[in-house]
Amino acid sequence: MSKILFSSFLIFSATFLGAVQIPTDTVQSRPFGATINVNAKVIQQKNDQHALTSSLEGYIEEYYVRAGDTVKKGSQIARLRSVALSKLAIDYQSLKTQYTHFDKNFQSDKALYERGMISRQEMTTKQIERDALLSQIKGIEVQLKGSNVNPTSLKNNGNSHYVYASASGRIGEILEPVGAFIKDEKVMATIINADAFYLQCYIPLKYSAQVQKGQKVLIKNNAPSAIYGQINRVLPSVDEATQRITALASLDKSTSLYLNQYVGATIYTQKDKNYLAVKKSALTFFQNEWVVFVPTVAKAHKEEKKEEHGKHEEHDDHEEEKAPYEARVVEIIAKDDQYVAVKGLKAGERYVSDKSYYVKSMLLKAAIGEHGH
């Protein structure tokens, strides 16, 4: 029996002196929040998109841009051959000519009137007729201006109509092919405001309680620098197709993102709660439970003593007989990248923060028996 005692003494003294240093740390309270990895889609709110329409109907003759081109407001997008415009131009020209002639007559009539050769009534009628003609011209001018056509530049045969960018941004998609006839309310293409991307996050239902407005989102894509966002809104209904909660997040920038692109995203839920936590590397699965190893009182006490007395050591066999570490069963409450929040340990308690494998080995060996000594 004395031999066995002696051999156990050998094991444990080697624990302190042996090759493996077992680091310890103290249990501390830490704020915890979960990170949720989700799939997300880059979207845009409709009010951040501009529909390009032509104010005139006609056949599309040419586009000056391609999808993806960046455009400034007012830059030329397309040319249309517009029958309506031709008609307007002809009308405008004829009315203008009419008016010129009319105005000449009117001026001569006015001279006549001033000499009293024409009645006032007759003169008034002429004026009304002239004003009507002018307003007709003005009307067409307004109409042309509205379609970005300068009435002064109109030629007789000028039926080409130009469509200009209504906003700055990037051309999203060209919806009508060249040669197509479009009516005046039809959308030819879209301009996307690239600075106004949103992220639609699809979040598994199990996180429903954790996702809230204001939480930080990190996009994982191959962008040179990280893109962060913030949850603006959690939509009230789940996405029917995928059975996921959808949350919208605004982004701080959108370089290298594309509309409708799927990306992986990490949502950081609020660190609103504090838990007692240990390093993840302290955890080990031992006899069907998650455990954290803590130095036994004797060992802790001894360490203090060691610190006090420097290198002087006193061996007390009864003390040595106890294993220097014990396994403390813990319940895992929360986790983040480095720490786990656990129940079952006290604040400030020392625990084995790393190399728990070696401690486990020693404990299991001790339980098996002092083999091989």
Partner 1 sequence: MIEKLIDSALKYRILVLVAFIAIILLGLRSYQNIPVDAFPDITPKQVVIYTESPGNSAEDIEKLITYPIESALSGMAGVKTVMSNSIFGLSYVSVFFEDDMDIYFLRQQVNERLGGVEIPQGWGTPVLGPNTTGLGQVFWYQIYDKTGRFSLSELRQMQEYIVAPLYKGVAGVEEVTGWGGHEKQYDVEIDTHKLQDFGITYEEVVQALEKSNTAAGGQYLEFNKEQYLIRGVGLYSSLDDIRNTPIKALKGESITINDVADVKEGTSPRFGAVSIDGKEAVMGMVLQRTQTNAAEVVEQLKAKTAMVNSTLPDGVSVRMLYDRTEITKKAVETMDIALLSGMVLVGIVLFLFLFELRSAFIVILSLPISLLIAFLLMEYFGLSANLMSLSGLAIAVGMIVDGTVVIVENSFRKLHDHPDASKFEVIAGAAKEVSTPVTFAILIIAIVFIPLLSLDGLAGKLYVPMALNITFVMLGSLAVALILVPVLATYLLKPTAHHDNSVMRSIKKRYTPMLNFALNHAKQMFIAVSILFAISVAFLTQQGREFMPELNEESIMYRVTSIPGTGLSQSTQTAQEIERFILKHHGDEVQSVLSMIGRSEKGETAQANYMEVLLILKPDLEGYEQLSKTIDTELEKEFTYVQFTPTQPIAMRIEELLEGVKAELAIKVYGEDQKILDEIAANIQESIGSIDGMEGMEIESQLGQAQIKIEPDYQALARYGISVDEIMEVIRYGIGEEPATYMIEGVRRYGIVPKIKDAKIDIETIKNIPIRTHEGNMVSLDEVCRIDTVQGSSFIKRENMSRYLVISLDVEGRDIASFVKEADAKITQSVDLPEGYYIGWAGDFKNMQEATQKLMIIIPITLLVIILLLYMAFNSLSKAGLILLNVPFGLIGAIFALVISGVYLSVSAIVGFIAIFAIAVLNGIVLVSFIDEMRAKFPDVELKEVIKNATLLRLRPVLMTASTALLGILPLLFATGVGSEIHYPLAIVVTGGIISSTFLTLMILPSAYWLFYRKGSAVSQK
* Residue selected from 92, 197, 202, 293 as contacting partner 1 according to rule CB under 8 A: 202
DSSP-derived secondary structure for 300-316: HHHHHHHHHHTT-----
State which amino acid sits at residue 274.
N
Is residue 235 a contact point for partner 1 (CB under 8 A)?
no
Is residue 205 a contact point for partner 1 (CB under 8 A)?
yes
Closer CB to partner 1, 252 or 289, in the complex: 289
Piece of 79-87, 138-146, 197-205, 321-329 that binds partner 1 (CB under 8 A): 197-205
Is residue 288 a contact point for partner 1 (CB under 8 A)?
yes
Shortest reach from residue 340's CB to partner 1, in Å: 11
Shortest reach from residue 191's CB to partner 1, in Å: 24
- Which residues, other chains included, contact 128 with Cβ-Cβ below 8 Å and sequence gap of 6+? none
Closer CB to partner 1, 165 or 363, in the complex: 363
Shortest reach from residue 21's CB to partner 1, in Å: 12
Strands 339-343 vs 169-174: parallel, antiparallel or unpaired: unpaired
Number of residues that bind partner 1 (CB under 8 A): 40
* Residue selected from 87, 131, 252, 262 as contacting partner 1 according to rule CB under 8 A: 262
CA-CA distance, 158 to 213, in Å (whole number)? 56
Give me the helices (H) in the chain, please: 2-17, 83-114, 120-146, 297-309, 317-321, 356-368
Q: Whose CA is closest to 227, among 186, 206, 258, 203?
A: 258
Shortest reach from residue 10's CB to partner 1, in Å: 7
Strand partners, 279: 339
3-state secondary structure of 367: helix
Is residue 209 a contact point for partner 1 (CB under 8 A)?
no
CA-CA distance, 205 to 300, in Å (whole number)? 46
Angle at Cα 206 formed by Cα 254 and Cα 340, nearest 5°? Answer: 85
Is residue 241 a contact point for partner 1 (CB under 8 A)?
yes
Piece of 6-14, 79-87, 119-127, 149-157 that binds partner 1 (CB under 8 A): 6-14
Instruction: Give the interface with partner 1 as residue ranges (CB under 8 A).
Output: 1, 3, 10-11, 14-15, 18-20, 37, 39, 202, 204-206, 241-244, 262-264, 285, 287-288, 290, 335, 357-358, 360-362, 364-365, 368-373
